[in-house]
Amino acid sequence: MARPPNPDPQQTAPLAPAPGGRRQRAAPMDKAERRRAILAAALTVFAGHGFAGARLDDVAREAGVAKGTLYLHFADKEALFRGLVEQNIAPVLADADAAIARFPGTTGDLIDLLIAILVERVIGTPAEALVRLMIAEGPRFPELAAYYHREVVSRALGIVRAIAQRGLDRGEITSDIAVRFPQLVISPAVVAVVWNGMFGAFDPLDVRAFLSAHRDLLLRGLGWRDT
């Protein structure tokens, strides 16, 4: 008698303990859960092997799904990376945009809010892992770098320009240098990611204190007026 085919891991889950010592099969993942599992696996594989060294076979194995199931959600590694950006970075940028639109306080207080968002939702999260991945491997994958620049870097620079212009319009700062060179504002965040990635094990940087100190230097350089 022929043996029945092995079930697809995406259709079934391992047996789970049940009352009385019996085991029952866990409910299969729905489409959204399966997609999240694949993305989490991709991040693990990218972090462990780098983007260049990562294989879709490894991602499928880490996620506990068949390779064919992975292809139903993502066509290639680039699509996985885009999915990770959409899941982990795009919402942070959207919330920062919304904060600018509705924030009632001073521009200095707004910068403090954005520092808090950065520390709580980027540092030590999958978003930070993606930043590190792009720093390390972006030059080898120009199309991926172009996507990241368009969807992440350009939006972040636009947020900084909007904050600086807000300060100018409200008479809180006198210099437009942050409008012209917003990279001056966001570069310390990149430095913090690089520093802790390379030296964090023996000389960790207090990112919140570091960015707050930069905020004070920046506002003085922009001609801050406490209105």
Give tens-digit pLDDT for 125-169: 999 999 999 999 999 999 999 999 999 999 999 999 999 999 999
Separation of alpha carbons 189 and 123, rounded Å: 9
Check which CATH number belongs to the domain holding 190 and give it. Answer: 1.10.357
Check which CATH number belongs to the domain holding 43 and give it. Answer: 1.10.10.60
The pTM of this model reads 0.82
Separation of alpha carbons 190 and 9, rounded Å: 39
Give tens-digit pLDDT for 75-114: 999 999 999 999 999 999 999 999 888 899 999 999 999 8
Q: Which domain holds residue 156?
A: 89-221
**Token pair for 29:** 């993942």
Separation of alpha carbons 126 and 216, rounded Å: 28
Q: Are 215 and 136 part of one and the same domain? A: yes
Q: Are 193 and 111 part of one and the same domain? A: yes
Total domains in the fold of the chain: 2
Do residues 167 and 173 lie in contact, with contact meaning Cβ atoms separated by under 8 Å?
yes
* Beta-ladder partners of 17: 23
171 backbone dihedrals φ, ψ, rounded to 5°: 75, 20
- Residue 2: inside a domain, yes or no? no
- Residue 139: inside a domain, yes or no? yes
Do residues 74 and 38 lie in contact, with contact meaning Cβ atoms separated by under 8 Å?
yes
> How many angstroms separate the Cα of 122 from the Cα of each of 49, 61, 64, 70, 189?
21, 27, 27, 27, 10
pLDDT at 223: 81
> How many angstroms separate the Cα of 32 from the Cα of each of 16, 84, 115?
21, 14, 31
Most confident of 3-12, 16-25, 103-112: 103-112
